[in-house]
Structure 1
Amino acid sequence: MSAVIEERTAPERMPALYLSHGAPPLADDPVWPGQLAAWSAGLPRPRAILMVSAHWEEAPLALGAVRTLPLVYDFWGFPEHYYRVTYAAPGAPELAESVRKLLPTPVQDMPDRGLDHGAYVPLVEMYPEADIPVLQISLPTLDPVRLMEIGRRLAPLRDEGVLIIGSGFFTHNLAALRHAGGVPGWSAEFDDWGHRALEAQDVDALLDFTRKSPAGRLAHPRTEHFAPLFVTMGAADAAGKLDAQRSVIDGFWMGLAKRSVQFG
């Protein structure tokens, strides 16, 4: 009997997500918030969320606050109401301890670092009740191979009910957008290439995307918004082969590809 009870109460293995997080005005988009809400509604309810955002680079790898703190409004020039958004999710000290045990490299604590907009902007739409513990960790490097290894080491958390999310943007070149109207060719070309590479599970091509993709350097002149994908891929590749994946959200927002992918 006890074995049956344990089986019923064991957490369901969570998928791993890479999402394009948009910007504060995402909340005003007529379509995107609903897409994110529908996505989360179709997932098992996580016990905790581990977030890796393009907007926090810190080495060695850092753990953010394990308690509720004010958000980090790491953007400028937006209307005032975007700076009044709140997201008081519980901290996740137990998850932080698990991360420390899984990673062999030095891990530093930054207890005063709240969630940045790469973390909270999508979470406001996906889990608006803010009742799931959230831990944000930093990107300690932009090297795809090293990030994928970090993801592999974090993969066991998925079996503990932890939703691992890499938050970036599938294409991201704001400077080039200033001179473009509609969807620029480089954004569309890279999005199509990335979609096909993911479907083919072509890990080698994705790891070497700056050389093997069309317009890779234009789509990502600096690679921090693509980098979280590799943590997600690592978390989905612990057995040496990527879990089944699908693009849950696609299309473009202000010329940037908002492709968002679920593994598992």
Structure 2
Amino acid sequence: MTGTIDERMPAIYVSHGAPLLADDPIWPAQLAAWSGELPRPKAVLMISAHWEDAPLAIGATVTVPLIYDFYGFPQHYYQVTYPAPGAPELAERVRRLLRTTGAPTQDFPDRGLDHGAYVPLREMYPDADVPVLQISLPTLDPRRLLDMGRRLAPLRDEGVLIMGSGFFTHNLRAMSMENRVHSAMAEFDDWGREVLGAHDIDGLLDFERKAPSSRLAHPRSDHLAPLFVTLGAGLDELETQRSVIEGFWLGMAKRSVQIG
């Protein structure tokens, strides 16, 4: 990617839901409205909770089939397509930005978008006409991910929407088809709202120790981890942070945030 745009792109963190999000009566419209308020990106850099690999891995730079990384769903969910263009120039920019730190990268040219990537993108950019590059989570360490986001932040001035995709709370044992919200999910979400609103990065980085019910809300931190990349990409303007989507879906907090 070369050149700049007049309007800097935000950095966002989206709670992505499961493939059946598309059938929800509310959430798809919320995601569509959000993208309609954003500047038009030249490309999306996607960091999904569903790809952990170290060193940092760079996915397909051409259109390849999706990864249906879920089980037991009705067949039509495995027939969904999202043929977004690849972003080879963005891949090279990512390599250059990380190369300056000595951080190695690896390439997976056949690795398509997983559901953490394409599920929200189908609602936000349904025409699949925005180039997308997915990269892996090379670690779950919040501080290292924050630094990674900080190093990727210059992409925002080049028209790239940096999108972390996870789930603000994620414990499959607490999921409820009736959307009954376990107290642990509500407590963690309320704490997150307050800490994000206070721009308390140190508190967020130490969420496992400081947040109420953190182990119940996140038995593994993979679905919160992309948030730290987003925060790192927006460190210089945290005062603009806001929750664009709130509430619960199947008992999980769907809080999604924007910086910039």
Structure 1 pair 97–243 and aligned structure 2 pair: CA distance change class (3 A) = farther
CA contact (8 A) 1:60 1:107 kept: yes
Post-superposition Cα deviations, 1:181-238, rounded to whole Å, max 9, x if no partner, equal 710000000000001100000000000001101001100010000000000000001x
Work out the CA distance in 2 between the residues paired with 1:12 and 1:87. 27
2:85 match: secondary structure:
coil
Matched, 1:129 2:127: yes
2:51 match: secondary structure:
strand
Work out the CA distance in 1 between the residues paired with 2:202 and 2:150. 16
Aligned AA (2:111): R
CA drift at 1:11: 4.3
2:219 match: secondary structure:
coil
The aligned runs of 1:1-264 (5 Å cut-off) are: 10-103=5-98, 104=101, 105-177=103-175, 182-237=180-235, 239=236, 242-264=238-260
Give the alignment's TM-score, normalised by structure 1. Answer: 0.94
Number of aligned residue pairs: 255
CA contact (8 A) 1:12 1:160 kept: no
Work out the CA distance in 1 between the residues paired with 2:157 and 2:254. 28
1:224 match: secondary structure:
coil
CA drift at 1:132: 0.6
Post-superposition Cα deviations, 1:29-75, rounded to whole Å, max 9, x if no partner, equal 00000000000000000000000000000000000000000000000
CA drift at 1:175: 2.1
Larger Cα-atom Rg: 1
- Alpha-carbon RMSD across the aligned residues, in angstroms, is 1.6
What residue ranges of structure 2 are gaps of 5+ in the alignment? Answer: none
Work out the CA distance in 2 between the residues paired with 1:156 and 1:11. 14
CA contact (8 A) 2:174 2:251 kept: no
CA contact (8 A) 2:13 2:166 kept: yes
Give the alignment's TM-score, normalised by structure 2. Answer: 0.95
Post-superposition Cα deviations, 1:83-133, rounded to whole Å, max 9, x if no partner, equal 000000000000000000000300100001000000000000000000010
CA drift at 1:12: 1.9
What residue ranges of structure 1 are gaps of 5+ in the alignment? Answer: 1-6
1:223 match: secondary structure:
coil
CA contact (8 A) 2:164 2:229 kept: yes
CA contact (8 A) 1:67 1:90 kept: yes
* Percent of aligned pairs sharing the same letter: 72
